[in-house]
A and B are shown apart, each in its own frame.
Chain A
Amino acid sequence: MSETELDPRVAPSFPKAAKASLRDAQLRANVRRATDTIQAKRHKLVEEKKDWQELRESARQIRAHVLEHLRVYLEEFERNFTRAGGHVHWARNDREAQEIVVAIAKEAGADEVIKIKSMTTEEIHLNDALEAAGIHAYETDLAELIIQLGHDRPSHIVVPALHKNRAQIREIFLREMHLTELGENPADLAEAARKFLREKFLRVQTAVSGANFLIAETGGVCIVESEGNGRMCLTLPETLISVVGIEKVIPRFADLEVFLQVLARSATGERMNPYNSIWSGVTPGDGPRNMHVVLLDNARTAVLADSEGRQTLQCIRCAACLNACPVYRQTGGHAYGSVYAGPIGAILTPQLMEMQHGESLPYASSLCGACYEVCPVKINIPEVLIHLRNKVVAQKGWYAPEALAMKAMASVFRSERRFRAAQRLARMAQLPLARRDLPIVGQDAPTGQDSGSGWVKWLPGIFGGWTQTRDLRAIPRESFREWWESRLT
């Protein structure tokens, strides 16, 4: 499991990968415990916030407004960040972004960089590209460090190592940090990470990050975090390179009053992240002298062009939808075959792949809507899931099984004659399958009387997917129409 490549271009389909995850009892226990804890904390703080729905609505409106005027705000950000002494780069895809970062790091003379946790750099597989160019990247977020030292992959957007428990983390640290002794309390493990990384913070002069928000009005960059590794990376080195998706821009500094409030509560169940850093370009004598922002498209403009899929880009990466999702809570993140797991991953990944890969992901949902309910920017994830399922089917053409089945259904429903014929046919076909001896829950037929119905517990072939985990109500012996007609004659 640990070596799974989180690249939708090569990852196995979701149902296949999920089966493997479901067999890992330890993984499921870890994911369940972590998501339960985080959900309980979030719930308490959202309840306490009386203006939560108003904040959500404003957050949604601001993000939707930004997407509609994205060009204006990106140009404004570029102008202001450049005026403040920073450099802005544009990357059409992952390869261009990798090249830009490698070139800046090389120009800075770096053979190692320290990194702030960034899903965007995971998305473009930046560490591999840096390594190939002879530059070693040290992940400094505790969870990312656990992932990196464990040769693992992130399974959650906010707490990427939530699939590992303390005993597993202790083993990784003992082995990779060459320690002879290490307690197994979380505090001991954090202390080990502090010692391991401090020397790197004090020495390495180039840092790589993502960003939570770019502020158009000030040319500002905002990064939120808990541990202080972010502050170390964005304060102490000479050079800072931030790789940021083009959708991350917000209009004004004042808009942070909304996003800082909804992000912390949604992501970690805190009223405010322990640390929020905001800066605008270069400040002489305070922080890096060389400041770069790489604006990454990587198919985001294609998502923008799809009016129904566009709301996906409102996402502020809080991961509340992962914690709330009954599917994610069973499978964990790796099954999604992408750095973006859970409901948001199920809609973001296939769109970023321009529907060429990850086509099984829009089906990795029961459409229960828990994700929509917790989303702080009100992305209607179920709506987008259905939209993408349509796209997948349309893409496969008219001969795809779903398309054929739907066409047949439509034809049956259009004609009363065909509908009746289909009912008769189904009644005959189910004869060997339907068991009429089983009672129907909640509908007690008077003793000795046949309710006329029953249960189908097994279906053949492609229909078997339905009966794998649930029974199907058998078709009654007599339809309402038939009963009505028999009454009249």
Chain B
Amino acid sequence: MSSAREEILARIRQACSGDAESAAASYAEITRQYQQAAKLSREEILGLLTERLIEYDAHVYRARETEIAALCRELFARRGAKRIVVPGDLPGAWQSGAEFVADEDLDARELDRFDGVMTAATLAIAETGTIVLQNAHAQGRRAISLVPDYHLCVVREQDVVETVVEGMRLLEATRHLPTTLFSGPSATADIEMTRIKGVHGPRFVDIVILGA
């Protein structure tokens, strides 16, 4: 490898003594006294998620498996969304009320012409109003949930956790996958620290919390 690499590593070695052996022991000694487990009841957690998502300008709906098709029809009509891109493995029963196109390596310009995108989610974190998307079942690659201006995202009740810590620990198993955590629609506070909804990511976000 390059001499820059060797030189930088040599300088680090000179500056501090930590090696692989001491690293493991020293890492284990780090104290973690912050809240890790949930404290709220299931219903309170779902309520908190709803409240936090709304605070960050997302719209939130609750539905059961039998109601989701009707709800989608209603939401697409309300948003005026006619052509929707979906990951190839999104449950067919959910796809109602628009023209659905399964993503097959569509390029960015093609994605830009859709009215919206519909995906599932890996999990949701109530405390921060955060939805986690991974390149996994029914969520597709990152570009499809980014370029269209409207995102309808379905998260299952059982995948909602209370704390960030619980959420991150559930993600451990799939930590190598491209992962996006989003909390509400795209936003900026760059002008006079005023929070404005919507810059480049989806400006309109509907979240459906799906019960059994």
Contact of A159 among B1, B129, B193 (CB under 8 A): B193
- Across the interface, A235 reaches (CB within 8 A) one of B142, B167, B196, namely B142
On whether the beta carbons of A198 and B200 are closer than 8 Å, the reply is yes
Report yes or no: A218 in contact with B176, Cβ–Cβ below 8 A.
yes
User: Which chain A residues border B1 with CB–CB below 8 Å?
Assistant: 90
Q: Which of B18, B33, B175, B194 contacts A51 (CB 8 A)?
A: B33
Q: Are A287 and B12 in contact (CB under 8 A)?
A: no
A190 touches B108 (CB 8 A): no
Q: Is there an interface contact between B177 and A283, defined as CB atoms closer than 8 Å?
A: yes
A297 touches B8 (CB 8 A): yes
Interface residue total, chain B, C-beta cutoff 8 A: 78
Decide if A295 touches B8 in the complex (CB within 8 Å).
Answer: yes
How long is the Cα–Cα vector from A161 to B14 in the complex, in angstroms?
39
Find chain B residues with CB under 8 A from A256 CB. 168
Interface contact A260-B26, CB-CB below 8 Å: no
Q: Is the beta-carbon distance between A70 and B12 smaller than 8 angstroms?
A: yes
Closest residue on chain B to residue A234 by CB atoms: B142
Give Cα A91–Cα B192 distance, bound, in whole angstroms. 36
Q: Give chain A nearest CB distance to B88 CB in angstroms.
A: 12
Residues of A within 8 A of B78 (CB): none
Which secondary structure characterizes the binding site on chain A? Answer: helix
Q: Across the interface, do A276 and B180 meet the contact criterion of CB distance under 8 Å? A: yes
List residues 291-320 of chain A with CB under 8 A from any CB of chain B: 295, 297, 301-302, 304-305, 310
* Cα(A301)–Cα(B14), bound, Å: 9
* B-contact 0/1 string along A360-376, CB 8 Å cutoff: 00000000000000000
User: Is there contact, CB below 8 Å, between B169 and A254?
Assistant: yes
Distance from A389 Cβ to chain B, minimum over Cβ atoms (Å): 22
Residues of B within 8 A of A65 (CB): 23, 26-27, 30
A-B residue pair count with CB separations less than 8 angstroms: 260
Are B179 and A277 in contact, with the CB atoms below 8 A?
Answer: yes
Among B33, B52, B194, the residue within 8 A (CB) of A186 is B194
A56-64, A404-412, A465-473 - interface stretch: A56-64
Which chain A residues numbered 35 to 85 have a C-beta less than 8 Å away from chain B? 37-38, 50-51, 54-55, 57-58, 61-62, 65, 67-75, 84
- Known A-B contacts A189-B191, A226-B186; the reply to A271 vs B178 at CB < 8 A is no
Q: How far is the CA of A226 from the CA of B34 in the complex (A)?
A: 26
Interface status of B153 (Cβ within 8 A of chain A): no
Partner of A270 from B12, B108, B183 at Cβ < 8 Å = B183
Contacts of B8 in A (CB 8 A): 90, 92, 246, 295, 297, 301
B188 at the interface (CB under 8 A from A): yes
Complex Cα–Cα for A50 and B186 (A): 28
A contact residues, total (Cβ < 8 Å): 93
Q: Among residues 1 to 19 in chain B, which have CB atoms less than 8 Å away from a CB atom of chain A? A: 1-2, 4-5, 7-9, 11-19
Rounded to whole Å, the gap between the CB of B85 and the closest CB of chain A is 15
A253 CA / B169 CA spacing, docked (Å):
9
Let me know if B200 and A232 touch, CB within 8 A.
Answer: yes
The reply to whether B15 and A304 contact each other, CB–CB distance below 8 Å, is: yes
Q: Is A128 an interface residue (CB 8 A)?
A: no
B16 contacts A70, C-beta separation under 8 Å: yes
Beyond A275-B182, A301-B15, 4 additional pairs, beta carbon < 8 A: A69-B23, A92-B8, A232-B146, A276-B180
Q: List 13 A-B contacts (CB under 8 A).
A: A69-B16, A70-B18, A146-B190, A186-B192, A201-B108, A201-B200, A227-B187, A227-B199, A231-B146, A231-B200, A280-B175, A285-B105, A305-B15
Residues of A within 8 A of B (CB): 30, 33-34, 37-38, 50-51, 54-55, 57-58, 61-62, 65, 67-75, 84, 89-92, 96, 140-143, 146, 159, 161-162, 165-166, 169, 186-187, 189-190, 193-194, 197-198, 201-202, 218, 220, 226-229, 231-232, 235-236, 246, 251, 253-254, 256-258, 260-261, 264, 268, 270-280, 283, 285-287, 295, 297, 301-302, 304-305, 310
Give the A-binding residues of B (Cβ under 8 A).
1-2, 4-5, 7-9, 11-20, 22-23, 26-27, 30-35, 52, 56, 105, 108-109, 112, 125, 127-130, 135, 141-143, 146-147, 164-165, 167-169, 171-172, 175-194, 196-202
